[in-house]
Amino acid sequence: MCLITKRTSLNEQSLIQGLQQGEEKMFSLMVETYQHMVFNTVLGLVLNFEEAEDLSQDVFVLVFQQIHSFRAASKFSTWLYTIAVRTALNHLRKQKAKKRAVYIKRFLGMEVEQEIRQTDFNHPGVILDNKEYAAVLFKALQQLPENQRVAFLLVKTEDMRYEEVAEILGVSIKGVEGLMHRAKEKLRNVLNDYYKS
């Protein structure tokens, strides 16, 4: 186990060095190694396959361009997660602003393009028996504040430890515990209302 960890960190170091030197080979290695991790994280937040693919590509391009600002204080994967989460959240904020603009345009009687959005999201990694419940859960998650949603998704879909979530969100471990507790509480309320109606 220790050997594996050592080998991984050594690989990570050479990967970072290669990226800092602008090596395309290392860019390919980074994408191949982390593509599913980044895609899964982004997908859990944006709930749309095409957007998740596009944003995940943006994440890797951004990482390659910003690699000089990476400080080895945290693990490379943690830094990558941070960028992926930020990219997805920025995208959602822009979408929210766009929706607001559409609402105002409609209110003013102006013509607006019809937006096709997926209403029910089915995560491909959910086991068959849980598909229906998971679809309801992803919908309910939209009603949580950003930090709670990110913490819950990272723990549940990426099987992440609280320490790493704390690093990504820039809060303490106690803070993550609090976020998880409040997320579950809020989800209970939302789901209670959903099943009652």
Partner 1 sequence: MRKDITELVDKTISSLDGINRAEAPGYFLAKTKAKLYRSEQKEERFQFRRPVLLIAVLTLFLVMNSLVLLHVQSNSRYTHTDKASNVDGFAKEYGFTTSDY
Q: Is 124 in the site for partner 1 (CB under 8 A)?
A: yes
- Cα separation of 146 and 177, whole Å? 15
- Count of residues interacting with partner 1 (CB under 8 A): 42
Distances (CA, A) of 2 to 39, 76, 78, 140, 197: 28, 18, 20, 40, 52
- The single residue among 26, 40, 46, 150 that binds partner 1, judged by CB under 8 A, is 40
Lookup: tokens for 96:
């929210």
- Cα separation of 172 and 162, whole Å? 9
- Cα separation of 58 and 46, whole Å? 14
Q: Is 102 in the site for partner 1 (CB under 8 A)?
A: no
Q: Is the dihedral of CA 5, 8, 14, 17 positive or negative?
A: negative
Binding mask 6-35 for partner 1 (x = CB under 8 A): ------------------x--xx--xx--x
- The single residue among 48, 78, 157, 177 that binds partner 1, judged by CB under 8 A, is 157
Residues that bind partner 1 (CB under 8 A): 24, 27-28, 31-32, 35-40, 43, 49, 53, 56-58, 60-61, 64-65, 123-127, 130, 133-134, 136-137, 140, 156-158, 184, 187-188, 191-192, 195-196
